Structure 1
Amino acid sequence: MEVWKYRVLGSVAALLLLLAIVLPFTQTETKEASMADGALVGGIKDSPAGQDNDLHIVDLARYAVNEHNNKANALLEFENVVKVKQQVVAGTMYHITVQVNEGGAKKLYEAKVWEKQWENFKELKEFKPVEGGASA
C-alpha cells in the first residue's frame, strides 16, 4: 500500500516539474504574438508618421465633429487633424486631436472614435476640449 502512495506522489512531482519548465516558454510565445507590430492589444500607441493626413483619419475626424455638432447643437467647423493615436479593441479606438474653428477662434478637441471596418461601424465615444486647447 505504501508503494502506491510513493508512485502517485512521484508522478505528481514529475508533472509539476514539467509544468514549471514548459509554462514560461508558452507565456513568452503568447506575449510575443500579442505584441506583433509593436502593438499590445488594448494598449494606446502613436499612429505612424503622416497618418494625420491620411484620408481615412480625416474622414473619421470630420465624422467626430459632425456627430458632436448634432448631439450638442454646436457649430464647430473642422480645420485639420493635429495628432492621432490608436488602441486595438474589438476594432480600433482612434484618439484624434482635432483643430476646429469655434466662432472665429481656433480650438483643440480630442475625439475618441470606435470603428469596426469589417462591420461598417463607427461611433463617437467622446469629444472634449483639450486642456489649454486654444491654438495659434
Structure 2
Amino acid sequence: MNASRSFKALALAGACGAGLALALGAPQAQAGPSDAWSQVDPADDHVQELARFAMDYFNQRSNDSMQHRLIKVLDARTRVLAGIAYKIDLLEGETECGKNTTTKEESRRCPLKEGGTRRRCTAEVWERSWENFTEVRSFDC
C-alpha cells in the first residue's frame, strides 16, 4: 500500500471512529494522537454524569462518616482506549448528610457543610458505552 492510500485509509478510519463516538453520545474532543488526552467541555452533560458517578465511587470507598458531593467540574479530557477514558478534574465538598442516612440520589442534593472540607480531585473513568460498562480507574485528591 502506498503512502497516499495509507493516509486515506487512516483518515477514513478516524472519521468512522469519530462518527461512532458521536453516535454513542460521547462529547466531541479536539483532534490529536490516540495516546494523547484531548480537551472536552467540562459543562457537557455526559461529563457531569461521569463526575457524579466518580463521586458515588468515592463515597462508597471513603472512611469519612459524611457524604461528599460534586461542587464543580473544573476540567475534562478524553482519549480513545478500547472505549473512552475520561480524566476529570473536579472540586468536591463535605456535606451535612451522614453516609448511613441518605441514598445515593439524596446525597447528590445534600447541602454542603459550612466549614467542611473542599478538595480538588482527579478521577479517571473508563467507559465502553456499547457494552453498558463504566468503571472508575482512579480517584485522587
Would you call these one fold, judging by a TM-score over 0.5? yes
Distance 1:34 1:128, change over 3 A: farther
After TM superposition, the structure 1 = structure 2 runs for residues 61-72 of structure 1, keeping only pairs within 5 Å, are: 61-72=51-62
- The corresponding residue for 1:108 is 120
After TM superposition, the structure 1 = structure 2 runs for residues 44-123 of structure 1, keeping only pairs within 5 Å, are: 44-47=37-40, 51-74=41-64, 75-102=67-94, 104-123=116-135
**1:61-85 residue CA offsets vs partner (Å, 9 max, x unmatched):** 0110110221233443211111110
- The corresponding residue for 1:43 is 36
CA RMSD of aligned residues (A): 2.2
After TM superposition, the structure 1 = structure 2 runs for residues 5-20 of structure 1, keeping only pairs within 5 Å, are: none
Q: Which has the higher contact order (CA 8 A, sep 6+)?
A: 2
Shift of 1:90: 1.5
Instruction: Give the counterpart letter for 1:115 in structure 2.
Output: E
Shift of 1:105: 2.9
Shift of 1:116: 1.2
Q: In the alignment, which of 6, 22, 25 is matched to residue 4 of structure 2?
A: 25
Shift of 1:31: 3.8
* Structure with the bigger percentage of helix: 1
Identity of aligned residues (%): 27
Distance 1:60 1:81, change over 3 A: same
2 CA distance for matches of 1:42 and 1:84? 16
Q: How many residue pairs align between the two structures?
A: 105
Query: Where does the alignment leave 5 or more consecutive residues of structure 2 unmatched?
Result: 19-30, 95-114
TM-score normalized with structure 1 length: 0.65
Query: Where does the alignment leave 5 or more consecutive residues of structure 1 unmatched?
Result: 1-21, 130-136
1 CA distance for matches of 2:127 and 2:42? 17
**1:36-89 residue CA offsets vs partner (Å, 9 max, x unmatched):** 462433331011xxx322222111101101102212334432111111101112
2 CA distance for matches of 1:89 and 1:101? 30
1 CA distance for matches of 2:87 and 2:48? 12
